[in-house]
Chains A and B, each alone.
Chain A
């Protein structure tokens, strides 16, 4: 029986969908059978990030309303045989599905897949309640901003109230240079407030924008440091112990490397 993991954050734009796509693809690359479920009904975009938009025929609402069989709505990924997407409906809204329907859906999916990864919509209303209804585990994504951390804290409280204990934290879009200057919250500050286990830290990476627009998850890009961070997170989800990547190393750009080489910089 598989594991149902919800990726949530409270605040919008912190990278839930990117995280879902990359962790899911990362797990599939490690040979796991994975299904990604987009619960952001009315504002779906996991399909776009995965580059699978043009394959959608049926969606999550069709499944829960019995308009099609579950199998028919699952879209097979272009890259991995073990990776599937269950897209959200775009023409309806969050009230089109309720928590018990989601629970049933998760129960059927977990029988066939090793991982069911649920992309949660922003907010704490019906969409959030639906997304967490069938989950066993939660990953809370935040960015190093006071507002995002505040919302993450709120979400952790709500998860605990719904018996989703011990959520794990993913800190996204961190910029080591800014942290070093004291212009950005550091990892310790965030963990101090949120008091949950850290699963991974993903550095800010322009490559994310490129890969999102192309519909190719960055986790498959060997060059990308964000990709490396997501590969590590996928491994940690499988219980492997992987140390955090050394962010400092990436701080040094090519120009500085050159300067140091020429002796202009210590």
Chain B
């Protein structure tokens, strides 16, 4: 599996090699190659793998952690971390349930409310990190527990169902594509994930937010001394992470047609894993949205493929752990060479 990407690299000679050798690009090529290799391996190992329904299943299971990972990418590029995305997602789902089911608000308003919940949590984390100078790990650990507790308190520890508004479940489970091309039933959740990725990618590479995001992660002091309001932009970035987290809350609530207050813990680690596999450096300054998307896909292809090969769930977790180790170690090796 490790040799394959190199062989691919060798074929792309000439001018392109220079471009590919740039660290960020190379990391993406490696991650993408690993994804292809994984898909090939599973396709040859089981005829059940490369079926339309299975691929759709993989994409659907990527959507929620994928959107969380998109948000996490922003914070991680600053050199920070957000441990609260799992439970803030749950809190957003619960609040959406409160808005739609308990208060009877229209679905679009409920969705906006859910996303705002995530945004507010992100904003608070950002204020704790930027203004109160609490280390991101601690600030978001606190936020993780606060959100977890609030989700349980507000819901009364019981799931909130969206049975009164069947439209809401369409947000994830319905297929907008199926209506245009019958039979091509890609769930909306997947489409939303990819649209979110495109928006995230534009934010990161084309806007002032993205520029300061990288600048902060690369050398915060230099950025501050250049007259950039570092604290303000940090809060903006944590809020962006919160918005993506809120969106993930909507997706999971819609997919389960309910807000499950006990769900959510552990999602943050899967999101971080996807970001890291995608080549974003935990020390900040480097990373891409495309990488994160690939990282998220690698995680779910791996889980799905192993399940099809009847590898017990416990062992799947072990394999995922090893893959994270390999991805990060490959990154360290390459950096040492450069």
* Binding between chains A and B: no
Chain B residues near A (Cβ < 8 Å): none
